[in-house]
Amino acid sequence: MNAVPSEKPKPERFDPLRYRADFPLLARRVHDKPLIYFDNANTAQKPRAVIDAVDRYYREFNANVSRAVHTLGEEATSAYEATRDKLARFINAPSRDEIVLTSGTTQAINTVAYSFAMPRLKPGDEILVTTMEHHANIVPWQLMCERTGARLKVAPIMPSGELIAARFIEMLTPSVKLAAIVHVSNVLGTVNPVRDLAKACRARGIPLLVDGSQAAPHVPIDVQALGCDFYALTGHKLFGPTGTGMLWARREWLEAMPPFFGGGEMIKTVSFDKTTFADPPHKFEAGTPNIAGFIGLGAALDYVEAIGRDRIAAYERDLLVYATTALKSVPGLRLFGEAPHKAAVLSFLIDGIHAHDLATLLDHEGIAVRSGHHCAHPLMQFFGVPATARASLAFYNTRDEVDRFVAAIGRVRKLLG
Amino acid sequence: MPSSNLYTQAVLDHCRAPRNFGVLASPTHVADGANPLCGDTLRMELRCEDGRVAEMRFSGDACAIARAAASMLSELAIDRSDRELAGLQQVFIALVGGKVAGDDRLGGLNAMRELANHPVRQKCALLPFATLRAALAGLRSATTEGIE
């Protein structure tokens, strides 16, 4: 056998069709048209590996976790806890014990609000957020402000959808006791400079929470490199089941925080005189969790890692450029969010056409986009619109789908314009 | 555009050239309607005489379905009492919900029957009626929540 000259392997071309075949739902038709699923920022579709993992758990080793000593209990516990390890690797957490499994980002943020912020906040204190936050990163803080007399402060954005980072940093005054920012905007796609903001927060001793819901499926995440204190994400946007998510927090914070929910699973000993709590992360995981969901999420993380997050990000960047150019060719179309560093989310409006009408008519063509306020009322107020239409792409979407989408928009314009 | 039974010629016509769009110089009843689902707003201004709607105008930023429904409603409401309109509202809710196929008393609003196949858009069409009734009840605002 001749020696093969050692060559760097050619990077394999990213073929979305190959991965598309892994998602059974993408084969369906809607209104007798092939489905074009452009609502990934709302929730992503699930690969067969995830569906099978959930199915297998219920068929083969359904049992409760962390308490049953029988074989099924051990198998379930080991599969469930494996997801904690995978999540820790996924965000490069220093320890698996810093991963609190939650029902999603909302529960993760509320855990920080009730267990971390509430006991610390005093009248006159401030929490800093930005104009582009999802309601999940606004409302919990407002509830805390109501209870404690603290105040919510909002860092502004530019019309391009970029955060005015210098303003955010200026607003980190001594009265700010916590800052909370979205990593990737669900409406604008803007990727925020979390690393720089975290550095500024740390220099001032202000803990920073990052809402990573939209970031997780699209950009590689390294919480140690980012330098934040809390990171929240949700599983269902990451191709995993609904009702799964995670809060990562620095160990010292988790140890200092009282439990949020009380119940089984989160205790060491219970008597009517005194209950002692389990160590983190279990202290924050009362009750029987979404075992099947987390096993499914583990499969989703494996699936995404097998493709490679850098490759996914590169493909989506390319698709975003293609889709942006195509959309801009539509007369009367206004795009919201043109930050230079953004994920594949396209919010837009067309002159004289309401977002809901557009979404309904696109649905008739088999195209799923979201219309509405995207749980970001303050951002809609900033742009002075009640609603936008939003196409959010994933790595299983194609240029051909973008072409068909733009052609369908043309037909809607003809009908309603 | 296939399958646009919802966006019929009648609906598109009312949407493009809404009847009674605007405001009144001296309304006796005014209410603002909001659909929290989408952020749409609709203002209804009425002038009532002897317990009947003499004039009605609507304005606001809303989708084609809500605009068309408001426009069609404005043709139906004239000369009606609140009691009559309450009855018509119930018939209209039944139509939109697919419980009746059509009813002569609803006039142009019968064009909204296709909404029975679009559950998430039903509230768009129900907002104008809810706002009109709120105005007649002396309320300043109405939402689509709790209409059913």
ipTM for the whole complex: 0.85
* A373 vs B contacts (CB less than 8 Å): 38-39
Q: How many domains does chain A have?
A: 2
Quick check: helix, strand or coil at residue A81? helix
Which residues touch B106 (CB under 8 Å, ≥6 apart)?
A: B76, B88, B91, B92, B95
| Distance between A352 CA and the closest CA of chain B, angstroms | 10
Q: List the pLDDT tens digit at each of the 417 positions of chain A.
A: 455 555 555 667 899 999 999 999 999 999 999 999 999 999 999 999 999 999 999 999 999 997 778 999 999 999 999 999 999 999 999 999 999 999 999 999 999 999 999 999 999 999 999 999 999 999 999 999 999 999 999 999 999 999 999 999 999 999 999 999 999 999 999 999 999 999 999 999 999 999 999 999 999 999 999 999 999 999 999 999 999 999 999 999 999 999 998 888 788 888 888 888 889 999 999 999 999 999 999 999 999 999 999 999 999 999 999 999 999 999 999 999 999 999 999 999 999 999 999 999 999 999 999 998 888 888 988 998 888 999 999 999 999 999 999 999 999 999 987
Catalytic: A375?
yes
List all residues of chain A from 358 to 387 with a beta carbon under 8 Å from chain B.
Answer: 360-361, 364-365, 371-373, 377, 380, 386-387
Q: What is the pLDDT of residues B51-60, one digit of tens each?
A: 999 999 999 9
Sign of the Cα pseudo-torsion (B127, B133, B137, B140, in order): positive
B10 contact A CB<8A: no
Structure tokens given for A13? 């071309």
Confirm whether B4 is domain-assigned. Answer: no
Closest by CA to A213, choosing from A167, A258, A246, A175, is A246
* B39 vs A contacts (CB less than 8 Å): 372-373, 377, 380, 386-387
Confirm whether A353 is domain-assigned. Answer: yes
Which residues touch B105 (CB under 8 Å, ≥6 apart)?
A: B88, B91
**Is B40 within 8 Å of A386 when comparing Cβ atoms?**
yes
Confirm whether B2 is domain-assigned. Answer: no
How far apart (Å, rounded) are the C-alpha atoms in residues A184 and A344? 10
Quote the domain boundaries for residue A92.
Answer: 51-306
**Is A414 within 8 Å of B7 when comparing Cβ atoms?**
no
Q: What's the pLDDT score for residue A4?
A: 54
pLDDT-above-70 percentage for chain B: 94
Confirm whether B33 is domain-assigned. Answer: yes
Catalytic residue among A145, A201, A228, A375: A375
Count H helices and E strands in chain A, helices first. Answer: 15, 17
Picking from B37, B62, B65, the nearest residue to A372 by CB comes out as B37
Query: Are both A119 and A209 inside the same structural domain?
Result: yes
Confirm whether B53 is domain-assigned. Answer: yes
Confirm whether A10 is domain-assigned. Answer: no
Confirm whether B106 is domain-assigned. Answer: yes
In chain B, the residue whose alpha carbon lies closest to the alpha carbon of A410 is: B1
Q: How many domains does chain B have?
A: 1
How confident is residue B35, by pLDDT bands cut at 50, 70 and 90? confident
- Contact assessment for residue B128 and residue B70, using Cβ atoms and an 8 Å cutoff: yes
CATH number of B69's domain: 3.90.1010.10
